[in-house]
Structure 1
Amino acid sequence: MKTFNHPAAISELSEKLNLSDNVSNRTIRRRLQQLIELGLVESQGKNKGLRYFPVLDSNYSGFIFTVKNQTIIDQIRQALIKREPCSYNADWLDAYQANQTFYLSLEQRQRLHQQGKPLIDNLPAGTYARKIFNHLLINLSYNSARLEGNTYSLVDTEKLLLEGKTAANKLDMETVMLLNHKEAIRYLVDGINRMAINVDNIRTLHYLLADGLIQPEDAGQIRETGVRIALSSYIPLEGKQRLTTQLNCIVSKARQIQNPYEQSFFLLVHISYLQAFIDVNKRTARLAANIPLVRHNLVPVSFNDIAIDDYISALISCYELNQIKPLAQLYVWSYLRSCKHYETRAKSLGIDTLRVKYRQQRRQLIAYIVTQQLYDSAQEEYINNYLKENVPENDQEKFKADLQHDLNTLASYNIAGMGITLKQLEEWKKGNKGW
């Protein structure tokens, strides 16, 4: 696909790539579908009009907009004088109906959930984010600040946030920007159980991100003066009361959205678009977009590898044209890359996801085995029947190993909450020979 800069039909791909005659169209389609699932290729059209085009370059490290999205981007990359001035469009927000309107397509939401799905079910909100906190802190702080022009390297960001070492020859403003991200991310993760999507929490995130970078009286406060957007013909809404009312409308709609990815992206779009604060609006939107993800123990969105020009252009497409698809493509592409980073990190931390996932079922099974005094073949038969009915085949071997370990190490300190008395445990241990 790397030799094509336009959507290509299967017949053209086969011819230009010199594929063997014995490679059927069906095989080509299957391989293209695999590339689509990996996010490396996209398709457009149907039946005889179906065409394919690359999303990533040959090293899988770059980003290009789809043909349709590039057309939108080209519109807002024209000279400013050629673009009509536009103001805040309240009808755009009004038209959005939670759980009926979707900015992210069904395919995008499914891909996001498949790659960033809850690491483990039924755990308190924020468990995953706390596990990977330092990695999240560095990655999100670095990328969010980078998108604002901060020149700290990733290595220097880590030294600053974890060791307090300031990089040489860096502006004080850049250092403060990163330290503010640290405080805001800590507030988000530590307080996620009480972190409702509301105006107060959005204002708190802004206060923490903006403290020391703008006038003290403006940090966390809805602005009273007008603002303008660099490189854009968009003129944001003015008037503190109108901005407050509109921000309330945004968080009210966001709270109703059930899908956490749609909720996250909705916040990213509309907090950025409203520009409710004198400055630091985009940073506030990026952290607010993580509230639903952290709460549901999903991989956070860290805006990895996004080029500043692409991000700004996609945002301005929202501002001037109310077109969200370029930003949605960037969001999905970057999120899938984030998933790879955090997956590696989770493995390095030794998080036993299956053990935690089946904790409740395992404890219930142990309680039954002990209280019913099951031994030997009766115990094994009951376990096997339980596995068939309650545990997917791919997880059964691991579940059984964890169960055996727990049964072999049962003691007074680890039976709390199981409904097992010490007497029952002692009696069961006398008759149990292991399995």
Structure 2
Amino acid sequence: MTEHESIRRAVLDYLSARGEWLSLSEILVAQGSDLAPRTLRRWLKAWVEQGVLVSRGGQRNRQYRVISDGAREVGGSSSAVALPVPAEPLSERARAALRRLDVPIFQRPASTYRDEWVEAYVPNQSFYLSESQRETLSSSGSRFAGVMPAGTFARRIYNRLLVDLSYNSSRLEGNTYSLAETERLLLEGVAADDKLDAEQAMILNHRDAIQFLVEGINRLEISVSNIQSLHYLLADGLVAPGMAGELRDEGVRIGGSRYLPLERRHQLLPRLERLVEKARAIRDPYEQSFFLLVHLAYLQPFVDVNKRTARLAANLPLVRHNLVPLSFHDVEPGDYHAAILVAYEFNDVSPLAELYVWTYLCSCRDYDVAAEAVGFDPLRVKYRKLRRQIIAEIVAELLTGPDMEARIQARCLTVPEQDREHFLRHLHEDLRVLAPHRIAGMGLSQRQLDAWLARSRDHQP
């Protein structure tokens, strides 16, 4: 662990141990002179956004408090250890590979789809990700692999995944929605006033595709039809009628590139089937994910929205194996598109592989901070619907103090006596840590939650 990561962990441990409202200056005094105020302010803001901290007060008197005991045990019952994120996403070697694109486009050789590149890849013998990269990913990304049902981890962090992947995947396509605006659109249904309708549609389409992926993971295989379904959900309303989910039968061009994809459906379908066949045979879920990311984009089977489809498809193996999903955190669009073009024109995936590993470590870090320590709790699952109904009633009716407790006691009479203590403990904990990303599916708005939180603070002893 780097010194930077050690200090970051120490701050979070300190906040968890204190468990009370603390100002930025109080935290700085406790941590000593090694921590810059600007750095701490950035960390605190990120932890609030991720649901680890709650804040109160104005800009000058803002205070912070931990809202999840899981912050002290980052990663829960997973056997993985989140590794430090390198400062730079690309090595000098990868940067040198990207500099091949500095040659003016008219001086670069034209290229088209190369069957021999795909055929040269032998599943479980050929690897785009090096052994070291696969070990790094495996060391950081496992969450309940082989223990819990497929999709357990993705469902637990669903709202965070929904916002992060929708935002980052759309951002890579030039969408100008901010992270906060994306969250408001997805969780509250509030669109930004100054944005294009197409940008809103792009984000909402991501929501539908992610929901399809996570909720259907137990039946979803890597198949042509499922890739078409992902494309349909991502492209609906953004491409010509009848083209969403359908293989194209016309040419497409790649901006800024000499790569010319194949043009006809009768050429694309057998190659997509071959690509799927190879992907299904890959045993390592990270290699499988990366293979899909590379080759779905390379084939360009659809009239548009190919890279978005590849990014969602790349998450299928990760979600299935309870690995941390890939949200493309912090990736610069210029780096991503250059790495893709190098793969297209030179069949060199090394820069994209480095970006994949780097952004995956970012995802592991951020999701571990956001997620609670997760262990399968059959009683919590059994009474989830009732617990969420009670929370929705309490928030909607602005119940606090004795009124809230009276409602809880009345509603929990339907819970068998032997389960009641457990139920009440979890209900009170859920109320204590209630935050915007925890109200999805309850029929509550951000405004209702804010009003209830304000009243709750007024009734604190």
Please state which band the TM-score falls in when normalised by the shorter chain.
0.5 to 0.7
Residue 80 in 1 paired to residue 105 in 2? yes
The reply on whether 1:148 has 2:194 as its aligned counterpart is no
- After superposition, the Cα gap between the structure-2 partners of 1:115 and 1:64, relative to the gap in structure 1 and judged at 3 Å, is closer
Alignment of 1:288-299 (within 5 A): 288-299=313-324
Q: Which amino acid is 2:193 matched to?
A: A
- Return the match for 1:338 from 363, 370, 373: 363
What is the alpha-carbon distance in structure 1 between the residues aligned to residue 183 and residue 193 of structure 2? 14
Q: 1:77, CA displacement in angstroms?
A: 2.8
**2:261: which partner in 1?**
236
Superposed, which structure 2 residues align to 1:14-413 within 5 Å?
38-40=84-86, 56=87, 63-119=88-144, 121-347=146-372, 350-352=373-375
Quote how far apart the aligned CAs of 1:38 are.
Answer: 3.4
Instruction: Decide whether the 8 Å contact of 1:268 with 1:286 is kept in 2.
Output: yes
Which segments of 5 or more consecutive residues in structure 2 lack a partner in the other structure?
1-82, 379-416, 421-461
Report SS of the residue matched to 1:216.
coil
C-alpha deviation, 1:239, in angstroms: 1.2
Aligned to 1:5: none
- 1:247 match: secondary structure: helix
Q: Deviations over 1:167-224 (max 9, x none)?
A: 0110000000000000000000000011100000000000000000011210000000
8 A Cα contact 2:184 2:191, kept in partner: yes
Q: Alignment length, in residue pairs?
A: 301
Change (3 A) 1:64 1:137: closer
Distance 1:64 1:204 in 2: 32
2:242 counterpart SS class: helix
C-alpha distance in 2 between matches for 1:137 and 1:123? 21
Q: Work out the CA distance in 2 between the residues paired with 1:411 and 1:103.
A: 54
Deviation per residue, 1:80-107 (Å, 9 max, x gap)? 1221111111100000000000000111
Q: Which amino acid aligns with 1:329?
A: E
After superposition, residues 412-431 of structure 1 pair within 5 angstroms as: none
Contact 2:145 2:321 in 1 (8 A): no
Q: Hey, what's the Cα distance between the residues in 1 that align with 2:145 and 2:316?
A: 18
Structure 1 pair 189–412 and aligned structure 2 pair: CA distance change class (3 A): closer
* Amino acid aligned to 2:270: T
Q: Aligned-pair distance for 1:228?
A: 0.4
Helix, strand or coil at the partner of 2:177: coil
Seen in structure 2, the aligned counterparts of structure 1 residues 174 and 412 have a Cα distance that, compared at 3 Å, is closer
Which secondary structure does the structure 2 equivalent of 1:217 belong to?
A: coil
Q: TM-score, normalised by structure 2?
A: 0.63
Deviations 1:130-154 (A, max 9, x none): 1111000000000000000000000
The 1:106/1:216 distance shift into structure 2, 3 A limit, reads same
- Where does the alignment leave 5 or more consecutive residues of structure 1 unmatched? 1-36, 41-55, 57-62, 357-409, 414-435
What CA deviation, in whole Å up to 9, does each residue of 1:241-294 have, x standing for no partner? 110000000110000000000000000000000000000000000000000000
Q: Is the contact made by 2:85 and 2:362 (CA closer than 8 Å) also made in structure 1?
A: no
**What's the offset of the Cα at 1:411?**
7.2
Is contact 2:110–2:259 with CA below 8 Å preserved after alignment?
yes
Give the direction of change, closer, same or farther, for the CA distance of 1:164–1:102 in structure 2 (3 Å limit). same
Q: Deviations over 1:278-319 (max 9, x none)?
A: 000000000000000000000000000000000000000100
Q: Distance in 1 between matches of 2:136 and 2:89?
A: 19
The DSSP-based 3-state class of the residue aligned with 2:324 is coil
Name the % identity: 51
Q: Per-residue deviation at 1:64?
A: 4.7
Q: Structure 2: how far apart are the matches of 1:344 and 1:119?
A: 17
- Normalised by the length of structure 1, the TM-score is 0.67
CA distance, structure 2, for counterparts of residue 308 and residue 230 of structure 1: 14
Give distance in 2, aligned partners of 1:327 and 1:412.
51
- Give the letter for the 1:134 counterpart: N
Following superposition, the deviation at residue 344 of structure 1 comes to 1.0
1:123 partner amino acid: M
Instruction: Give the distance between the partners of 1:411 and 1:176, measured in 2 at CA.
Output: 48
Q: CA deviation at 1:238?
A: 1.7
Shift of 1:345: 1.5
TM superposition shift of 1:72: 1.0
Shift of 1:79: 1.5
Amino acid in structure 1 at the alignment position of 2:330? D
